[in-house]
Structure formats: structure tokens, C-alpha cells
Structure 1
Amino acid sequence: MIYGKGVFTIKRVKYRNIIILEALNLPKIFDIKSFSISIGLTPTILYLLSKETERYYTSIKIPKKKVGTRQLRIPSFSLKLVQKWIKINILDKIPISDSAMAFRIGKDYGIKQNAELHKYDSYIFKIDLKDFFHYIHREKVFYFFYNLGYNNLISNILSNICTFNDVLPQGAVTSPSLSNLLCKKLDSRLEGVASKRGISYTRYADDLIFSCNDKVLLIKTQKMIYEIVEDEGFQVNSEKVKFMGPATRKSITGLLIVENKVIVPRSLKRKVRRMIHYMIATSDYSRLDVVKGYISYISSIEKKYIEKIKRYINNMVNNDQYKVFDDIVNLYNENIFLECNEMEHVSFESCIDIVDGTVLDFGEHYVDERITFFKKHNICGRLSSLGIEYEEIAATVNVTSENDGGGK
């Protein structure tokens, strides 16, 4: 078998297996010309993208949740176009394991569904695969395409375009789908071990979760799980191995299982309320899209959350201590979080007592952000002595709601 970067000159058959390609309704490409026609790029551009792939990435570093940074490889427009074509026309047509819950579309998959499948079990064993994408090498990618029926040339081009420095890059359009497809054997073997023992198994990207009601059985199965993971070419991140029982807090991919319910941690909801409060109080909406993203995410997990956060926003919108300032009113109305009430301006004098040019009363609470705002507009006087820490009162707007175990 010949494979490797830049191998384009050896004579090859048109297709290695036309039957598989036709059965899966995959594009029949056999050289650079047929490939370029299918995508809509010139053969020269396609050749350069596959021959000198690393040149068409931009590398950035983002902080990890706890310590260190994560390297992302952002493909150029042309490379991203080709990767998207590969994903849609090839990768998305190939079935993957039902245990794979990440990077998929459908009501049966996703972060919530992944946790739902384990919520009734008393014991949960969770492991993390170390440097997940980096343990999926170009050779595996090459043989994946080759076994679909493509010849050496096309398999080389496809694997070149989908890898960076001979591994799957974080940031490439094709990496999530390829990771699921190339973990199919891993999933199949772990499914077999789990199902024979009455253990539930799912994989969310690099998180492997096993659960059942038999503590001893789950512990005895761990050695076999480790052996399969290593045999499939992956490595367990020993720092992220967790065994959770009835007496411990159960957390799966950032979600909590409380009384057989999947909920979002209270800390995230508080963070969202703080961000909303800060935006309205300071008229700084630079992170509006981030807040909307959080609201959408939490609402996808907890259906009642959207109404709770609407009430929180509306309480602030209808609070006179914010409505007396034109810029707060105008900027809020230009940056609506949700379909909530608009904020109406009211006169300053009707809401705030002014004695000797100094604001004496500003509602029940004072926040540093509003004090800063007052100073900026030359209306503060003695207010600086009345401020309290922002975090202490950011979530004090009264919102009545049932106790769902996850906070308001």
C-alpha cells in the first residue's frame, strides 16, 4: 500500500471499490480534475490545498477551563470550503455508532441526551481520552477513505486536506465527524462489554461514560475498558477519571444529575444573571451574543428557564432606578436580550430625591457600576461612599420560581 503526502504521480485504478461508493451514494471522484469539478475549484488550487495544507491554516490559542491553553487551527476560506464539501458529501452519509452523542444532529443526540441516558443509574464511571484529536493520525484517515472505495490518489488528497501535521486538527470542519467515524470500532467494542453486563455506555467526543446500579460490577469492568481504549490507539487522561456514586455530585459533560433530573449548574445561571445585570446597569452590550448563547443553551436543557430569565430581565426593565437615564433606556431597547418588554423612560425627578445636588436614594441597593456611571455624568456627589460589591447584589432582582434544584 502506498500512501503519503504528495504522492500524486503513481498510476492508479479509477476506483478501488465502486460498489461501496454507489451503495453509500458517495461522489465518484478518481483524480484531481474530477474532484475539482465536483467542488467548483480549479485543479491547481485543489492541488496546493492538499500538497501544502499547513500553509492554509491560522493557529490561535484559547484558554482551557482550568490550566493551560488549547491550540486551534483555523482553515482558510478555500480550505474550509473543501472540508465542508467533504463533510456534507462523504462523511455525513456514513453511519456511526449510536453511542456517539456529540457532533450529531437529531433529538436523540446531544449533551442533554447524553446525560439523560445515565440519570437513573446509581453509579457512574467517567474517563477522558487524552489529546483526543491528536491520537487520530493521518494513516487512519487515509485508510478510512481507502476502505470506502477511493483509490490511492483520492485517499491521499482527502486525508491531506483533513489533517494538520499528520493528526486531526482542532478547528477543521471535518475533524468532529471523522473522530466519530474513526471511533466506530472503539464504540462497538465498548458497547459489547457494557451491554453484556447491563452497563449503559455513551461517548461524548472524548468523554466516555459508563453507568449501572452495581458498584462492584462497574469497578471490575474498568480494567477491560482501559485495555480496549489503549488497544484502539488512545490514552486515558488519568487526571480526569471519575467514579460517582449516590453520595457524590453527579456531573456529566457540564450538566448535573439531581434526583433523576438533568439540570444546568446553578453557578452558570448566576453568571448569566450577573452578565445581564452588568449590561443593563452599565449600558455595555459588547458581550450580548455571548449572553444570548448562554440563554439558548440553558433553555435547551431546562425548558422553564426561558420564562424565568424573562421575568428577571423584565424586573430590571421595569425598575425605576434604571429607567431614569436616557442612555440606559435607549441602549437596552437597541439590544434586546429576548422578546421582553421595552424599557420606557421616566423623569429623573419623579424617581430620585435630589438634595443639595446629591443623589440620596438609588433604590434599595447600590452597585459600583452605577456609581461609575454617575461619576461619568457628574451627578454623583457622595455616592462613592455608598457602593457595595457588584457580585453581592447582581442577582437580587426578585424572581419568584419553583425550586428546581438548579437555582432560579
Structure 2
Amino acid sequence: MELLLGIVIVVTCWMVVRIIRSSKNQEGYKRWRAGNYASENPYAKEKASGPLSQGLFSKRVRTTGVRRFDDGAIRWCANLLATEESRLREVLDYIPRQYTCFHVRKRSGGFRYISAPAGDFRSMQQTIYHRILLLANIHPAVTGFCPGKSVSGNARVHLGRKNVLKVDLHDFFPSIRSPRVRAAFREMGYSRPIAKVLAELCCLRCCLPQGAPTSPALSNIIAYPMDKKMMALAGEYGLVYTRYADDLTFSGDYLPKDEVLVRIHRIIREEGFTMNVKKTRFLSEHKRKIITGVSVSSGKKMTLPKVKKREIRKNVHYVLTKGLVGHQEHIGSTDPVYLKRLLGSLCYWRSIEPDNRYVSDSITALKRLM
């Protein structure tokens, strides 16, 4: 019994000594990190909370840091973006830190994940868009995110067509990976090192983020070969083809659905995208036709869908009769720009139905409340 007690005491003392030594080593490691690493990485203190996590974070930063980029490319890009080289290196050091991420509810249900660039990083992306991407060639069939084009313009070209085939691309932005983005900048004439920096600034976790001002334009540029093939396919069957972001629309008086769908699916797969089969719709002559949120069912003029009209009318009525505050309290809304959003919906309605007297009168009435 005494022997067993002695063994327990010895083992306990040995464990206490190991814990004390480990604690001292950790404190020394923390002091080393504070003196040697935090000055190199402005994010280390916030991102790392313990020796183990610091070690992991340290490894990540070393493997993904700005040393991957050519000094000359960084200098050129900093000049383009009108920023300091040190700031550009700081941004490139850890891109995810430059975004604010959140979810928004989809009209069809579920949520959409948004990654919005913050602060001066957004200005950098806007500069890339205006000084580079806006000058690139976009296929004529593209109607989304192009100056002078809109959802109503996308629907207008299909007005009066007997048959409509709507095809949706699954995870459009996430499916465009960083190698394709680098290749796009290379095709625009930029050197490999510069294309690498520009692609890094436009991607988040190796793909195009939804919410960045550069993503729509880059997707249009990268999808050019697909649009070219789709246009050629439409021409073979006497169809009209347009694409608004991830929505592909074909229309014509004669549209052999099954035959055309097989070829569409093949083109989509060849170009590195995925077709969302659940959202594929074939609308024959006598079916209701809504294209990118605009009804072309009459065959003669575009209108806003009836469901959307009823919703806007209801909100306008209650704002004008109960007052803005009373209406928002009734529906449980705390949106500080609710009135502006409602006016925006009315202006969109007017862009589709410019001769609608109710819309014009409602806009005038709501503006008096501002």
C-alpha cells in the first residue's frame, strides 16, 4: 500500500513539473510572437488566440502571403489602383478579411450568400471594373450587367415568340474558379504576374464572390465562348438567344425542346458550367411566359407580373392611408429606407409599363412624403 502511494506521489509531481514547463514555454512563445510576428502580420493578434492557433495561422499566412507575387506586378497594380504598395500587400496578405459576408432571402425561398467588399478594397475593385473590365468584349447576346441593357431589354427581344425555353446555370459565380479568371486577364493582354495579382483581388477562396462589383463583368467575359456557341445553336433552329447572368433564354415559333436541350446541356458542360435541371422551363404557345421577372404572355407588350403588381399596390395603399410609420409597424418592418425601396419598385414598374397612369400618380404621391 505504501509502495502504491509512493508511486502515485511521484507520478503526480512529474505531471506538475511538465505542466509548469509547458506553461513557461507557451509564455515564451507568446512573447516571441508579440515581438517578432505581430509586427509582420497586422491580423495575427486578432485572428490567433492561443499558441496552437497562432502556429496554425502563422503557417497559413506564410504559405499564402504576398511573397507569391512579383514585386513589379504589385508596383504596377498599386499605381493602377491609386493606392500604396504597402496597402496592396496588406490586402493581398489575407483577402477574406476585406469582405463583409451575410445572407439575403431569395424570392423563391432559401438564402443567397453575399460577400461584399468593404472600405477601400471596394474602391480597388471598382477601379478594376471601370479601367479594365468595362473595356472588354462582351457577347451581344448578354443583357445583364452591361451599360444600356436591363432585365426588361432581355425580355423584350422574346416578345411575340410562340415558344420559350428557359435554362438556369447552377452556382454560376462559384463555378468560375481563379485559374479561369487569371486566364481572362491574360487574354486581355496582361502579363502573367499582373494577371495573377488582378485575379487574386477579384476572387474569394478561389472563385468569383457574389457581391463584388467585378464578378458580373468577369463572368460575362469568361462566358463569351459559351455565348458564342449558344448563339450559333440558336441560329441553326431560327431561335433568339439571350443571357442575363445565369438565366439563358431561347425563343422561337418552332422549338424542338428535347433536341435543343441535349445540345444546350453539352455546351454548358464543355464550358465548365452546370445546368440547373430543376429550373429548366419550356413554355409553349398558350402558357404564361415570364422572362427575368417580366411578363411577355400577351405577345404584344411587356407587363409586370400580376402578383408583383398586387404586392406593390397593397403597400402603396397602406402607406398613403395609414402613414409610413403605421404601415411599417403593421408589417413589422424596421427598414430605414422602406419608402425609397417602394419608390424603386414603382420606378421599375414604370420602366416596363411607361404609359401606366397609376404608377406615375403613385410615384408623385409617395415623393410628397419624403
Q: If the length of structure 2 is used for normalisation, what is the TM-score?
A: 0.75
Q: 1:236 pairs with 275, 278, 295, which one? A: 275
Find the counterpart in structure 2 of residue 335 from structure 1: 369
Q: 1:49 pairs with 70, 91, 97, which one? A: 91
Write the distance in 1 (CA, Å) between the matches of 2:69 and 2:360. Answer: 64
2:345 pairs with 1:294 = yes
Find the counterpart in structure 1 of residue 291 from structure 2: 252
RMSD of Structure 2 on Structure 1 (CA)? 2.1
Q: Percent identical across equivalent pairs?
A: 29
Write the distance in 2 (CA, Å) between the matches of 1:54 and 1:170. Answer: 13
Q: Relative to 1, partners in 2 of residues 1:8 and 1:90: Cα closer, same or farther, differing over 3 Å?
A: farther
State the 1:179 CA deviation. 0.8
Q: Relative to 1, partners in 2 of residues 1:293 and 1:308: Cα closer, same or farther, differing over 3 Å?
A: same
Find the counterpart in structure 1 of residue 173 from structure 2: 133
Write the distance in 2 (CA, Å) between the matches of 1:76 and 1:118. Answer: 38
2:232 pairs with 1:192 = yes
2:246 pairs with 1:206 = yes
- Asked if structure 2 preserves the Cα contact closer than 8 Å seen for 1:50 and 1:158, the reply is no
Match runs of 1:59-70 below 5 Å = 59-70=101-112
Deviations 1:55-97 (A, max 9, x none): 1101110111122111000111111011000000000011100
Write the distance in 2 (CA, Å) between the matches of 1:103 and 1:197. Answer: 27
Higher mean displacement: 146-155 or 171-180: 146-155
- Which residue identity does 2:253 align to in structure 1? N
Q: 1:72 pairs with 104, 111, 114, which one? A: 114
State the 1:10 CA deviation. 7.3
Match runs of 1:269-284 below 5 Å = 269-284=309-324
Deviations 1:86-140 (A, max 9, x none): 000000011100011000111xx21111111111211111110001101111110
2:145 pairs with 1:103 = yes
Write the distance in 1 (CA, Å) between the matches of 2:98 and 2:284. Answer: 47
Write the distance in 1 (CA, Å) between the matches of 2:218 and 2:360. Answer: 39
Higher share of residues assigned helix? 2
- Which residue identity does 1:135 align to in structure 2? S
The count of aligned residue pairs is 296
Find the counterpart in structure 1 of residue 34 from structure 2: none
Write the distance in 1 (CA, Å) between the matches of 2:69 and 2:120. Answer: 26
- Asked if structure 2 preserves the Cα contact closer than 8 Å seen for 1:101 and 1:111, the reply is yes
Q: If the length of structure 1 is used for normalisation, what is the TM-score?
A: 0.69
SS of equivalent to 1:31: helix
Find the counterpart in structure 1 of residue 40 from structure 2: none
Q: 2:124 pairs with 73, 76, 82, which one? A: 82
- Asked if structure 1 preserves the Cα contact closer than 8 Å seen for 2:209 and 2:215, the reply is yes
Write the distance in 1 (CA, Å) between the matches of 2:222 and 2:367. Answer: 48
Write the distance in 1 (CA, Å) between the matches of 2:276 and 2:233. Answer: 21
State the 1:334 CA deviation. 5.7
- Which residue identity does 2:345 align to in structure 1? Y
State the 1:187 CA deviation. 0.2
- Which residue identity does 2:344 align to in structure 1? G
Q: Where does structure 1 lack aligned partners over 5 or more consecutive residues?
A: 13-29, 318-331, 337-408
